[in-house]
């Protein structure tokens, strides 16, 4: 079996070392902060990278804002997070992929460490722990701490930040487009299995974390979030229903 690391090292035709792929639907308000911090992080490391913003059929100025900050914009008409991520990966011109949410700030050290792990050859990908831009209510904060524990112990990446080798991504078929939420969990498990076959690790970087928006915890009550978690725990196949996954797609009127 050919070691995928050798494919990466020999792929000199690639234009960039890494691609940061950001799925975005109506994110004109959050993108400036996300892209500004991302550019600062990219400028601080010795790797040549590109930014790809996937405009997921936005009705605002998401695409224009992304271009203003130097991102390459690709359009995906079908509203689905997994498909949007896959569309961005198809357009990427590199061997290392970084998936970042549109409302998430990426620290320079985290970006550098992720790329260094991929460059070493012993890692197929991973994620990090998540922090938020404001103090969360007690219940919400407890949920986040519980998730971070699961993420760290179970080696499962949160969707806000995922890094991986392009060969591994393509070999496992990218993100599962049969689900409307939780695609990062399925992706983590499949990439871990792929990495194991190739003697590579999937890891969670625990000494740095991304900072993401806590807006969903402001939009929805603790009871609504608790009921949603119970639903997906009892009926895991609910992630295949767009209607039942509206938490990730429908926003309250502003």
Q: In sequence order, which residues have a C-beta less than 8 Å from that of residue 156 and are 6 or more positions away?
A: 127, 150, 184, 185, 188, 189, 204
Taking only the tens place, the pLDDT of each residue in 109-168 is 999 999 999 999 999 999 999 999 888 888 888 888 999 999 999 999 999 999 999 999
Helix (H, G, I), strand (E, B) or coil at 14: coil
CA-nearest of 242, 253, 241, 248 to 225 is 248
Burial of residue 151 (number of CB atoms within 10 Å: 0-12, 13-18, 19+): buried
Residue 69: which of 36, 43, 107, 20 has the closest Cα? 36
Domain that holds residue 175: 4-248
Terminal Cα distance for the chain, rounded? 54
- Other residues' Cβ atoms within 10 Å of the Cβ of residue 116: 12
| Alpha helices, H only, 155-182 | 166-171
* Enclosing H/E stretch for 116: helix 108-120
C-alpha 89/C-alpha 93 separation (Å) is: 9
Question: Is 36 a domain residue?
Answer: yes
For 3-12, 19-28, 35-44, 242-251, which range has the lowest pLDDT when averaged over its residues? Answer: 3-12
Q: Considering the domain boundaries, does residue 168 fall inside one?
A: yes
Quick: pLDDT tens for 30-56: 999 999 999 999 999 999 999 999 999
Fill in the DSSP letter of residue 232. Answer: H
Residue 151 lies in a domain: yes
Q: What is the pLDDT of residues 197-249, one digit of tens each?
A: 999 999 999 999 999 998 888 888 878 888 887 888 888 889 999 898 888 88
Domain assignment present for 215: yes
Q: What is the CATH number of the domain that holds 218?
A: 3.90.550.10
Residue 175 domain flag: yes
What are the beta bridge partners of residue 212?
A: 104, 132
**Is the pTM higher than 0.85?**
yes
Helix, strand and coil percent figures for the chain, each rounded to 5: 45, 20, 35
Q: For residue range 67-125, list pLDDT tens digits in order.
A: 999 999 999 999 999 999 999 999 999 999 999 999 999 999 999 999 999 999 999 99
Domain-embedded: residue 254: no
Structure tokens at 232: 């997906």
Higher per-residue confidence, 8 vs 53:
53
The pLDDT value recorded for residue 10 is: 44
Q: Does residue 253 form part of some domain?
A: no
Q: At what angle do helices 81-91 and 183-197 cross, to 10 degrees?
A: 50
3-state secondary structure of 173: coil
H or E element: which one contains 50? strand 49-55
Total domains in the fold of the chain: 1
């Amino acid at each position: 079996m050919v070691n995928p690391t050798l494919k990466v090292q020999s792929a000199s035709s690639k234009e960039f070392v890494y691609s940061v792929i950001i799925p975005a639907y109506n994110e004109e308000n959050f993108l400036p902060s996300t892209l500004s911090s991302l550019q600062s992080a990219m400028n601080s490391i010795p790797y040549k990278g590109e930014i790809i913003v996937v405009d997921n059929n936005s009705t605002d100025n998401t695409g224009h804002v992304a271009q203003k900050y130097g991102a390459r914009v690709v359009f995906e008409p079908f509203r689905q997070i997994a498909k949007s991520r896959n569309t961005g990966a198809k357009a990427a011109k590199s061997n290392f992929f970084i998936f970042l949410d549109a409302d998430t700030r990426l620290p320079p050290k985290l970006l550098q460490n992720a790329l260094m792990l991929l460059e070493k050859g012993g890692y197929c990908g991973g994620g990090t722990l998540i922090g938020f831009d404001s103090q969360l209510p007690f219940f919400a904060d407890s949920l986040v701490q519980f998730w971070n524990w699961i993420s760290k112990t179970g080696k499962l990446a949160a969707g806000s930040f995922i890094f991986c080798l392009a060969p591994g991504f393509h070999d496992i078929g990218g993100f599962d487009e049969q689900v409307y939420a939780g695609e990062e969990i399925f992706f983590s498990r499949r990439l871990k299995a792929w990495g194991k076959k190739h003697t590579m690790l999937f890891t969670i970087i625990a000494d740095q974390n991304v900072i993401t928006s806590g807006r969903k915890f402001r939009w929805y009550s603790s009871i609504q979030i608790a009921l949603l978690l119970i639903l997906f725990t009892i009926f895991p196949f609910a992630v295949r229903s767009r209607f039942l996954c509206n938490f990730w797609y429908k926003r309250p009127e502003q």
